[in-house]
Structure 1
Amino acid sequence: MSRNVQSLPSWLLAVLVAVSWLGLLVHNFLESVDGSTIAVGLVSAGLFLGWWRIPSRRSAMGWLLLGMGIVQFAGATVTVVPFGFLPFTPSQTLGHYLVHVEYGASQVPLAGAMIKQLLRDSGKSQA
């Protein structure tokens, strides 16, 4: 029974955070986007370290990591379409679409794992 409420292994979360960041890195490299790659990587790494090293803050860090995954997934989804409110006009090519699929898909494992962990944690606190 205790197996169902165990925390996500730290090595697995580290891999999921890295996959999320690598998705951004690949997108920004192939799309020649400057800026956010290092900052997002540092924030994600900091949240992972907080989750790993400060167990009393694990739930808060989990929510923030989930937020990072969701925001990046939403960004990958919204910025592929040439909406008028965007400050740029995205390319409408197969390559552009595929890069955004890669970027969005790389966020799903982190978001999914965090949802699963947060649900486990909420069940554990109610038991």
Structure 2
Amino acid sequence: MDRLSARRWPPAVIVSAAVAWFGMYLHNVADLPGQDILSVETVVPTLITSALVVLWFIRPIRHAATWALLVWAWLSLIGGIISVLPLGILPFEPVQTPVHYGFHALYAAMQVPLIVVASIWLRDARRDPQPEEAPDVVDP
């Protein structure tokens, strides 16, 4: 991996994590009654996402942090889908309407960029164990 590619990872991780978080936030404040940015349903995922992104910047644990971000995004995507299924064990408040389903689809779709970024980083890290320490000049 060349140095230019290594420089693209931090913005990609930050932006994709922000998009994933924003999907959750939109779902919560737009579709759940009485929710705001300080609600537990928003604060806890915000803290988890923020902590994982901060941990990603610590090189010795970057690999583990990337896996954690990937798992977190998959849990959010799958949870967003499962939580609208008509299962007797799930409470259905708010009422399951097409608008509510739409917010769940948006929430799930907004997890995809983080899944893609984390997956590609892990693939590249497997090919080059030190991708962020690439040389300044690549020999032809």
Please give the TM-score of this superposition, normalised by the length of structure 1.
0.86
Tell me how far apart the structure 1 counterparts of residues 127 and 88 of structure 2 sit (CA, whole Å). 43
Within 5 Å, which residues of 2 pair with 1:14-33? 14-32=14-32
State whether residues 12 and 117 of structure 2, in contact with CA within 8 Å, keep that contact through their aligned partners in structure 1: no
Say if 1:66 and 1:8 are closer, same or farther in 2 by CA, change over 3 A: farther
Superimposed CA distance per residue, residues 64-98 of structure 1 (whole angstroms, 9 cap, x where no aligned partner): 00011000001110011121222x02533110111
Tell me how far apart the structure 2 counterparts of residues 8 and 51 of structure 1 sit (CA, whole Å). 14
Say if 1:71 and 1:22 are closer, same or farther in 2 by CA, change over 3 A: same
The CA deviation at 1:38 is 1.1
Listed as ranges, the gaps of 5+ residues in structure 1 are none
Off by >4 Å, runs of 4+ in structure 1 = none
Task: Read off the aligned partner of 2:49 and give its amino acid letter.
Answer: S
The CA deviation at 1:106 is 0.7
The CA deviation at 1:35 is 2.5
Aligned identity (percent) is 29
Root-mean-square deviation over aligned CA pairs = 2.0
Tell me how far apart the structure 2 counterparts of residues 78 and 37 of structure 1 sit (CA, whole Å). 19
Q: SS at 1:9's partner residue?
A: helix
| Count of residue pairs brought into register by the alignment | 123
The CA deviation at 1:15 is 1.1
Say if 1:61 and 1:7 are closer, same or farther in 2 by CA, change over 3 A: farther
Tell me how far apart the structure 2 counterparts of residues 58 and 8 of structure 1 sit (CA, whole Å). 15
Residue of 69, 85, 99 corresponding to 1:81: 85
Task: Read off the aligned partner of 2:14 and give its amino acid letter.
Answer: A
More helix by share: 1
Residue of 96, 100, 125 corresponding to 2:100: 96
Within 5 Å, which residues of 2 pair with 1:1-127? 2=2, 6=6, 8-32=8-32, 34-52=39-57, 54-86=58-90, 88-89=91-92, 91-125=95-129
Task: Read off the aligned partner of 2:101 and give its amino acid letter.
Answer: Y
The CA deviation at 1:112 is 1.1
Superimposed CA distance per residue, residues 26-71 of structure 1 (whole angstroms, 9 cap, x where no aligned partner): 101122255221111111111111111x111110000000011000
Q: SS at 1:89's partner residue?
A: coil
Listed as ranges, the gaps of 5+ residues in structure 2 are 130-140
Say if 1:103 and 1:62 are closer, same or farther in 2 by CA, change over 3 A: same
The CA deviation at 1:7 is 6.5
